[in-house]
Structure 1
Amino acid sequence: MPKAKRIVLADPSAAAVLLDEYSKKRAFDATPEPAPAPAPGEGLLLFVVQKHSARQLHYDFRLECDGVLKSWAVPRGPSLNPADKRLAVMTEDHPYDYASFEGVIPPKQYGAGEVIVWDCGPYTPDEDRKGHWYHDRAQAERLVRDGVAAGKLSVTLRGAKLKGSFALVRTARNPKDWLLIKHKDRFVAETDVTGKDHSVLSGLMVENLKAMPVRRMPASQLVPSGKKEALPVKLLPMLAESRDIPFASAGWMWEPKLDGYRVLASIDDKEVKLRSRRGLDLTASFPKLAAELAQQAAKGLVLDGEITAFGADGRPSFAALQERVQLKTEHEIAAADRAMPTVFFCFDMLHFAGVDAREAPYADRRRWLEQCLLPSPHVQLVHAEENGEALYKAALASGFEGVIAKRKDSKYEAGKRSPTWLKIKPTRSAEFVVGGMTRGKGSRAPLGALLLGYWDEGELRYCGHVGSGFDDRTLAQVKARCEKLRTDACPFAEKPELHSPTTWVRPELVAEVEFQQWTPDGMLRAPVFLRLRDDVDPKSVRRTEPRIAARPVAEATSSSGDSEIDAVLRQLDNKKTALTIAVGRHALKLTHLDRVYWPADAALKQPAITKRDLLRYFAQVSPFMLTHLADRPLTMIRMPEGIAGERFYQKHWDPELPAFARKITIFSEHKDERHDYLVCDNLATLLWLAQSGTLEFHVWHSRAKPGPDSGTQRTDSSSSLAALEGSILNYP
C-alpha cells in the first residue's frame, strides 16, 4: 500500500507556521479533513465547537485568531453552570476551513471517528465583560492574542447553544491544561447543554454520520457575512404573497404567522428604534421592549419581527395590541406592561456589526439570527421548521393566524412583496383603504357601511362597501376615527353610485375585510369587516385576490377548540362547587356545580347528572354542536334549578353580554320594535349558557352570515320589516 501523501502549505506565512503541527499529523489524501489554506482574514471572528467521537468522545472548542483556529479539547463538553470548571486541553491550531468540517475521519488516521459542528457563531473578547469588539477585528484579535499569552481569556459567544460570557484560564500544573468556565450572566443554566446533541449545520448526530453523507458549506458562512455598511437608517420590511394551502417541499422553511405589529428594530449599542411597517416610530409605546433590546450588546443590529400581545389564555390578541398602542402617558404604558406584557418575536436579521446580511439566503440568515439574538423574557426567536403542513395545523390550534413559508435561498428584498415568501391563512381577507362612510337606518343610523378602495396607478379605485361584521364597540371606534378624517372631496378616482347619505373621509384608514371573491365588475362579493389595520400604510394597499381556506374553517375551528376543550375538562376536575375557569382567552365564573339538573333514575340505573356533568358534556360535544349553532339567532329554554324546577322561555336578550358572547339585532313587526337575539358561536358562550341553566337550544333555520350558496348577500335585518324580509335571515 503506497504511503499517504502529506501536504504542507507552500506559503511561508505566519498562519502556515502555526499550522505546521496540524499538517504533520494528517495525510490529506486519506482524510477528508481540510488541508491548510489561506483564511479570509476579514469580517467577524468565529468560534466553533465540534463534537468528536474519537477513541474518547470529546468536544473541540475553537476560536478564530490570526488566520487559524486556536483549539482546546474539552472531554466533558462545555457547561452553562458557573460552578462547573471544565478541563480544556490546548491542542494544535487548526485551519480556518476546519470550522465547518463534518464527516468521518477514517480508521488509522489521526483522530479517527465522527465529527459534527455542535455549535458555532461570532465571538468577541469582552475584556472581563467590559466591552465588545465585533466591529473592530484588529483590536479583537490583539486582545485574544494577549489573553492566550497571559493564560486568561474572557470571550462572549453568540451561538445557538452557547451564549454569554465564558472564561478560559490556564492552570499552573500544566501549560496545556486550561479550564473553560461560564461567567455569571442571564444565560447560566444548570441543565446539561450537551444533551442538545444535533449538529447546528446538518441537523445530524455523530452516530448518523456513518450512514448519511454530509454536504459541507464554506466556513465563511458560519457567521454573518456580506458587504460592509453603516447601520441602515431607513429600511422597509419584506412582504409575503398569499397562497392557498401549505405544501411539502425541501426548499422551504415555515414559521407561524403572528397576529401583531410588524416592526423593524434598529439597535446601535444602547440606542433602540422600533419602526412599524409604515415607518412610524413605536419606541415610546413599548419602552420595556426597547430596554430589553438594548441588552443585545452590538453596535449595529437590525431585526425584523412582530410585536405581539397575548390574552389571558396565552393566545395572540390583536385587539389588545391595538388598545395598547393608543396609550399615551408613561403611567398608562407602565400599567399596561404589568397587566398585559408584549413580546417581540424575531424572524430575520438584516444587519449585524457593520455587515449587510440582506443578500445572503434565508437559510444562512436564519442560522445567524439564532446565533446572534440574545433572548430575554420579552425578546424571543420565532419557531421555524421544514414541515409546513404540521406547523399549519399546530399554528391554528395555538391561536395563530396561519403560517409563513420562506424559500431557503431567498434574499431579503426590503420593501417588496415577493413570491419567495408566502402567507397561508384559513380565512380569505385583504386590506382596503376607507374613503367614506354611509348613514345607516334604525340602530345603525350613525354608520351604515364603509366605502372601500385600493390604489391603482396613483388613483383610489372604489371596490364596494362593507356594512357587516361590526359590533357596538367597533361601530363606535370606527365612526370616531372616520369623523376625524372628514373631507368635502370624494377621494375616489370615480365617484361611486350612492344609495345613502355619505360622508367622505381622507384615505388614511386601512380596514381588513374578509370577502368571497371579486365580481366581474371589480366589486367585493360578500365583504365582512374584520378590523382596522393601523400598522398598514394606506399608500401600500393594492388589489389582491382572496385566498381560499387551506382547509374548511369548521375543521380549523375544531382543531383550535381541541386544546381549549382539554383545558376546560381539566379545570372542571376541580372539586370546588364554585370557581372561575379560563375558556381560551376568556374567564368564566361557574357556580353551584353540584346542583342536580337530572335526578337519579333507579330504573335506568342512571346516577344524578349535575351542572358540572352538563358543562363537561357541552365541552366534549362543542365541535359538533357549535357547527349547527353558529350564526343562527337562538331561543333558549332555561331551567336554572334543573328539569324539576321552573322553566323560562327566553327569546330576546336585553342584559349586557359578556365580552365573548355575540348578539344580532332583528326588526320585529310587533309594535315596530327591534330586539337582540343571542348567537352561540364559541365554546365560552356555550358554557356560559350551561351555567345559566340553558337545557334546550332552538335556532333559526337561516344564518346571519352570507355563504357561497346564500340567496342574497344583504345582512341588514334591523332597520325595517322590508330590510328583514330582504336580508339573509329570510332565506333558510
Structure 2
Amino acid sequence: MANKKNSSANTKKPTRSAPARSSRQAADAIDRQLARYRSMRDFTVTVEPSGKPVGRKSAAKASSSSLPFLIQKHAASHLHYDFRLGWNGVLKSWACAKGPSYYPGDRRLAVQVEDHPMEYGGFEGIIPAGQYGGGTVMLWDHGTWELQPGHTDVDAGLRDGSLKFTLRGTKMKGNWTLVRMGGKAAAKQPKPNWLLIKEHDSFERPEHDRPITEEAPNSVVTHRSIEQIAASEDHVWNSKDSAKERTQHRKDSPVLPVKARAGKTRSADLSADLAKTPKESLPRFIDPQLATSTTTPPAGSGWIHELKLDGYRIQVHLHDGKATLYTRTGLDWTHRMKTIVKELEKLPAQSALLDGEVVVLRDDGTTSFADLQTAFQDGTKKPLTYFVFDLLHLNGHNLRVLSLLKRKAILATLLRGYNKTVRLSEHLDIDAATFFNKACELHAEGIVCKHADSTYISGRSSSWLKLKCIHEQEFVIAGFTLPSKGHTGIHGIGSLLLGYRDGSGKLIYAGRTGTGFTRKTHSQLRTQLEKLHQSKSSFFDPPAEARKDAIWVKPSLVAQVRFANWTADNLLRQASFQGLREDKPASEVVREEPAPRPASRSLEGTAVNTSKWTQS
C-alpha cells in the first residue's frame, strides 16, 4: 500500500442516520431486499456477448464490476460483523469480530467461513436459537465492489490469499485489502484467518477518529437498531431449511382488513401513515413531475433508481370505487384501458391518485412503444401493464408533501398482493453508474434517478434525473416524401420530415426517418398526412436537403423516433419511426438536451429492491 499522510481534511464521512422506519415499512423494505438478492443468484452469472455462460477460467478473470457486497451486524453468541462479497452466485464470507476500521493501521481479524446463499444477503431479522448463527441479524451496509486495477482474477486472489478491491457502499467506501495470515499458528486454526485492512486513500481516517461502527450503528435499509430488530421479529431465517430453499418467512403484526369493492378482503392499514399528512379533497388533474435529462449518473447515497419505461404516462384518479385515467396532458383515456380500469377499481381505498406508466412488456422483460402503438391504434391484442411509481393522494390526505420513500412505502402496502396488470414500480439504491451500465446491458431504455427525500413537484426538476441507454424522443412531423422508385402505386410514404421547437417557438428541421414503418402504418400515415397538406413549409429556414421532394403538412402530429446520435450539422443519424404520440401536443416538442447534473445531496441509503421498470 502506498504511504500517505492521514488527514481529517480529506476524510469523507457518512451522514447522520435517518430515523427508524415503522415496523411495517421496515418489513416491506426487507422483503424487497430479499427479492433483490434472490434475483442475483442468476443475475451475477458472467456471460459472453453470445449469452452463453463462460468457462471457469475466463470467469475467474472476469471483471468484478457490478458485484454486490454487504456487511451484516450479527448478535449471536457474541456481537460481530459478517463481511460478504458476491462472487460466482454465492456470498464469500468472513466473520470480523470488531468490524471494519477506516484507520489503515488497524488490522481487523476476519475469519473466513462457508459461502452463504445469495438470498441471505437481503436478510435482516432473527435466526432461531439452536440453529447455526442463532441470534439477530442487521443489514449494516451494502453496495457494490470491484477489484482494483491490476488485480483481475478473483479466484486467484482467494486461492493465493490476497484480494485488493474497491467498495462503493453507503458506509464503506474506498480501497481495501483482505490478506490471509500464514505461518504455523494460522495452520492450526480450524478456519482460515484473514486481515481486513483499509488502504491509504481519501476515505481513510486518523487513528483517534470515532469508529464507523459507532458513528453509524444502525441498519442501512430500515435504520433500526439491533435491539429494535430483535424486538420486532418481522423476518425469520431457518438455516436448517436452506437446502430446501424454505429459508425465511415473514411475521407481521395484525392489521385491520379493508373491504375491497369486489367483495374481497385485503389488508391495508395505513391510518398511522396518513395521520400526520394534510387533509384534502381528491384533487383534479395534477401536472406530473418530469425528469431532467443528464449524461452523468448522480453520486451519493441519497438517490434511488428505477428502470426507465417506454410507454404512456398515466395518472389514475380513484373515487368511491370508480377509476379515471388521464394522460400526461390531462386527456381522459379511461375508455382505452378497460382491463387496467377493472383492476384499479378493486384497490382498497376510498380515494387515491396514482402516477405511473402503461406499457407493453416483451418476452425479454423490456418495454416497447411500437408494440404499445399497435395495441392502441391497430387493436392488436397485447396485454397492457400499469406500473405505479408514485402515490399523490390517499383517502382524503395529501401525500405530495411526504418524501418519495415514504410515498412509495405507503404505495407498496396499498398494492401488496396485486396481479400482473397493476404492478408496483420498484427501485434500487445501489450505485447509479453501476445500475445504469447493467440496465444498458439488459437493453433497457435507461434509468430514472430520484432524490429519496424529495416531495412531489409538478414540472421538470433536478430531483428526478433520466439517463438514456438509447437516443429516443418525440419530433414534430412537418412534411413527408412519397415512396421511392420501384414502390410507385403504393399508398404509403417514403420518409417523414421531422422537427422540434427552439426557445423562441420556431420549428427547426431535425432530419428524416424512412424506416420503422409497417405496411399498415405506411398507409395510415399517408392518409393522416394528406388531410394536413399545406403549400408552405413550417420549418424555420429549412436546408436544401429538407426541401427536396418534400410535401408539406401542418405540424400537428408527433412521432416517437429512435436514433443513433446527432450529426455535427444537428441532424438525426439513423432515425427510426417508433409510432405516433397521441399524448403530447406538437407545440411542446423540444430537442432534449442533457442538463448539467446538480450537486447531489448526501443522504444515508434507504429502501432497496430488485423489480423492473419505470417512467419517462
Q: Which residue of 2 aligns with 1:405?
A: 449
- SS state at 2:465 partner: strand
CA distance in 1, matches of 2:434, 2:511: 37
1:528 aligns with 2:572: no
Change in Cα spacing, 1:392 to 1:162, as seen in structure 2 (3 Å) is farther
Instruction: Report 1:169-188 matches (<5 A).
Output: 185=265
Q: Which residue of 1 aligns with 2:509?
A: 463
2:494 to 434, 448, 451: 448
TM-score for the superposition, normalised by structure 1: 0.43
- SS state at 2:306 partner: strand
Q: Which residue of 2 aligns with 1:24?
A: none
Deviation at 1:366, TM superposition (A): 1.8
Change in Cα spacing, 1:319 to 1:430, as seen in structure 2 (3 Å) is closer
1:417 aligns with 2:460: yes
User: Is this contact kept in 1: 2:389–2:424, CA < 8 A?
Assistant: yes
Change in Cα spacing, 1:405 to 1:501, as seen in structure 2 (3 Å) is closer
1:322 aligns with 2:373: yes
User: Is this contact kept in 2: 1:441–1:448, CA < 8 A?
Assistant: yes
User: Is this contact kept in 2: 1:432–1:513, CA < 8 A?
Assistant: no
CA distance in 2, matches of 1:220, 1:187: 12
Change in Cα spacing, 1:496 to 1:230, as seen in structure 2 (3 Å) is farther
1:508 to 536, 539, 557: 557
User: Is this contact kept in 2: 1:451–1:462, CA < 8 A?
Assistant: no
Show CA shifts across 1:260-316 (max 9, x none): 211111111211111112322221111111011011122221111111212345543
1:292 to 339, 343, 347: 343
Deviation at 1:386, TM superposition (A): 0.5
User: Is this contact kept in 2: 1:101–1:115, CA < 8 A?
Assistant: no
1:369 aligns with 2:403: no
Show CA shifts across 1:540-595 (max 9, x none): 212222799xxxxxxxxxxxxxxxxxxxxxxxxxxxxxxxxxxxxxxxxxxxxxxx
Instruction: Report 1:527-566 matches (<5 A).
Output: 527-532=574-579, 533-545=581-593
Q: Which residue of 1 aligns with 2:532?
A: 485
Q: Which residue of 2 aligns with 1:358?
A: 400
CA distance in 1, matches of 2:127, 2:593: 57
- SS state at 1:366 partner: helix
Change in Cα spacing, 1:379 to 1:284, as seen in structure 2 (3 Å) is same
1:261 to 275, 298, 312: 312
User: Is this contact kept in 1: 2:292–2:594, CA < 8 A?
Assistant: no
Deviation at 1:166, TM superposition (A): 4.6
User: Is this contact kept in 1: 2:533–2:551, CA < 8 A?
Assistant: no
Change in Cα spacing, 1:363 to 1:396, as seen in structure 2 (3 Å) is same
Deviation at 1:527, TM superposition (A): 4.9
User: Is this contact kept in 2: 1:427–1:547, CA < 8 A?
Assistant: no
- SS state at 2:463 partner: strand
CA distance in 2, matches of 1:437, 1:528: 14
CA distance in 1, matches of 2:273, 2:223: 11
User: Is this contact kept in 2: 1:428–1:546, CA < 8 A?
Assistant: no
Q: Which residue of 1 aligns with 2:288?
A: 237
Letter in 2 for 1:482: L
Letter in 1 for 2:538: P
1:252 aligns with 2:299: no
CA distance in 1, matches of 2:558, 2:537: 15
CA distance in 1, matches of 2:251, 2:283: 26
CA distance in 2, matches of 1:224, 1:343: 32
Q: Which residue of 2 aligns with 1:433?
A: 476
User: Is this contact kept in 2: 1:305–1:348, CA < 8 A?
Assistant: yes
Instruction: Report 1:199-348 matches (<5 A).
Output: 222-223=273-274, 225-326=276-377, 336=381, 340-348=382-390
Q: Supply the RMSD in Å over aligned alpha carbons.
A: 4.2
Q: Which residue of 1 aligns with 2:199?
A: none
| Bigger Rg, structure 1 or 2 | 1
Deviation at 1:113, TM superposition (A): 8.8
CA distance in 2, matches of 1:406, 1:160: 31
Change in Cα spacing, 1:249 to 1:411, as seen in structure 2 (3 Å) is same
User: Is this contact kept in 2: 1:510–1:536, CA < 8 A?
Assistant: no
Change in Cα spacing, 1:471 to 1:341, as seen in structure 2 (3 Å) is closer
Identity percentage of aligned residues: 28
User: Is this contact kept in 1: 2:281–2:396, CA < 8 A?
Assistant: yes
Deviation at 1:491, TM superposition (A): 3.2
CA distance in 1, matches of 2:407, 2:328: 20
Change in Cα spacing, 1:374 to 1:458, as seen in structure 2 (3 Å) is farther
CA distance in 2, matches of 1:381, 1:160: 22
CA distance in 2, matches of 1:258, 1:501: 34
CA distance in 2, matches of 1:259, 1:116: 40
CA distance in 2, matches of 1:321, 1:162: 41
CA distance in 2, matches of 1:437, 1:161: 61
CA distance in 2, matches of 1:164, 1:294: 22
- SS state at 1:450 partner: strand
User: Is this contact kept in 2: 1:262–1:305, CA < 8 A?
Assistant: yes
Q: Which residue of 2 aligns with 1:713?
A: none
Change in Cα spacing, 1:439 to 1:279, as seen in structure 2 (3 Å) is same
Letter in 2 for 1:526: R
Change in Cα spacing, 1:543 to 1:393, as seen in structure 2 (3 Å) is closer
Show CA shifts across 1:16-39 (max 9, x none): xxxxxxxxxxxxxxxxxx9xxxxx
Q: Which residue of 2 aligns with 1:210?
A: none
Deviation at 1:461, TM superposition (A): 1.7
- SS state at 2:410 partner: helix
User: Is this contact kept in 2: 1:491–1:507, CA < 8 A?
Assistant: no
- SS state at 2:346 partner: helix
Letter in 2 for 1:544: E
- SS state at 2:387 partner: strand
Of residues 453-462 and 403-412 in structure 1, the stretch that sits farther from structure 2 once superposed is 453-462
Structure 1: which 5+ residue stretches go unaligned?
Answer: 1-33, 35-45, 55-74, 78-99, 106-111, 120-158, 168-182, 189-218, 549-732
Structure 2: which 5+ residue stretches go unaligned?
Answer: 1-18, 28-73, 76-125, 129-221, 236-249, 597-616
Show CA shifts across 1:467-521 (max 9, x none): 343345354443333234333454335566412242323423233242523646x
- SS state at 1:295 partner: coil
Q: Which residue of 2 aligns with 1:43?
A: none
Show CA shifts across 1:140-188 (max 9, x none): xxxxxxxxxxxxxxxxxxx997897559xxxxxxxxxxxxxxx984679
Instruction: Report 1:648-663 matches (<5 A).
Output: none
Deviation at 1:465, TM superposition (A): 2.2
User: Is this contact kept in 2: 1:252–1:407, CA < 8 A?
Assistant: yes
CA distance in 1, matches of 2:405, 2:127: 31
Letter in 2 for 1:503: W
User: Is this contact kept in 2: 1:436–1:450, CA < 8 A?
Assistant: yes
Letter in 2 for 1:454: Y
CA distance in 2, matches of 1:49, 1:491: 54
CA distance in 2, matches of 1:239, 1:290: 24
- SS state at 2:345 partner: helix
Instruction: Report 1:626-637 matches (<5 A).
Output: none
User: Is this contact kept in 1: 2:357–2:386, CA < 8 A?
Assistant: yes
Letter in 2 for 1:406: K
Aligned length: 360
